[in-house]
Amino acid sequence: AEDEIAAFEREIKQFWATFKSIYGSEQVNQTVALRDSCKESIKALTEKWSQKLKEEDQMIDKIKEYNDEILQQNKLISENEENLAEIKSNLNNEEDQMKSLMDSIQELKEELMKKKEIIASKNKATQERVERLCKSKALFEERLGLEIRRVQDEQLQFIFRHIDHKDPEKPYMFTLFINEQGDYEVTSCSPPLDCIAEFQQKVRETNNFSAFIANIRKAFTELSYK
């Protein structure tokens, strides 16, 4: 717009120079007045359009700022959506982990209850065996010359006498306890017997404790004659 106005002013000057050479001063004066009026109009129009252009430039800058702000807001919204999706995913993972943990706890509880039941059952069986041993004590002492003592760690020590005819008070002994599996286990034997492991395995299979004691006494007796 400013280039067009400058070109227009040049044309006016050229026209004025040509006109002045042809017409008289009065006409020139009128023309000058007309020119000045035209220039004032052009100046006012120029200022008006310059102001409008300035306002349009400001409006464009404002629109650009709004667009930048909208882009920034959209970026923030996108980031927040990504963060929200990540948080939701983490929550879902935590829920899955919590469910898995609760399932594991429940399984452990059930397993613990089963183990408690098994232990209680074994303890009951062990107690019953101990009671049977104690009840048999008098019978063994009377018929086999056997003495039974309770020693450390819930073990029982079996002491035979009247085996060696040369030394009736000489002790022949072994120590027994019931292990965690509920089986009879011999922990010591004096004097040692080669067949003690065989006797131990047999009593585990038959649960015939009386025969087990009789076999050990018989083995001690045979050993005394060697």
- Domain containing 189 — which CATH number? 3.30.457.50
Average pLDDT, the chain: 83
Co-location of 167 and 186 in the same domain: yes
| Residue 48, in any domain of the structure | no
Q: Helices marked H in the chain — which ranges?
A: 2-22, 25-144, 196-206, 209-224
Say what the pLDDT of residue 144 is: 61
In a domain, 94, yes or no: yes
Boundary (domain end) residue, out of 142, 164, 183: 142
Beta carbons within 10 angstroms of residue 212's beta carbon? 19
pLDDT band at 66; cut points 50, 70, 90: confident
> Among the three residues 90, 124, 142, which one is the final residue of a domain in this structure?
142
pTM of the model: 0.41
Q: What is the edge-to-edge ordering of all strands in the sheet holding 146-151?
A: 146-151, 155-160, 172-178, 184-190
Answer yes or no: is pLDDT of 226 > 80: no
Q: What is the pLDDT of residue 78?
A: 84
Same domain, 168 and 98: no
44 in a structural domain: no
More confident residue, 200 or 93: 200
Average pLDDT over residues 111-121: 82
- Say yes or no to pLDDT of 131 above 80: no
Residue 54 lies in a domain: no
3-state secondary structure of 173: strand
Note the pLDDT of residue 4.
72
Q: Which residue has the tokens 């996108």?
A: 78
| 117 shares its domain with 158 | no
pLDDT at residue 23, as a whole number: 61
Q: What angle do CA 64, 67, 72 make, to 5 degrees?
A: 125
In a domain, 35, yes or no: no
Q: Is residue 13 part of a domain?
A: no
What is the model's pLDDT at position 214? Answer: 92
Interhelix angle 209-224/196-206, nearest 10 degrees: 160
Task: Judge contact between 215 and 185, C-beta under 8 A.
Answer: no
Tell me: pLDDT of 29 over 90. Answer: no
pLDDT of residue 91: 79
Instruction: Decide which of 142, 157, 176 is a domain's last residue.
Output: 142
User: Which structural domain, as residue segments, surrounds residue 125?
Assistant: 74-142
Same domain for 181 and 125, yes or no, is no
In this prediction, what percent of the chain has a pLDDT beyond 70?
85
**String of b and e for 152-161 (b: at least 16 CB within 10 Å)?**
eeeebbbbbb
- Residue 35: what pLDDT? 66
pLDDT at 186: 96
Q: 115 in helix, strand or coil?
A: helix
Q: Sorting pLDDT into bands at 50, 70 and 90, what band is 89? A: confident
How many distinct structural domains can be found in the chain?
Answer: 2
Q: 108 and 156 share a domain?
A: no
Query: SS3 of 159, please?
Result: strand
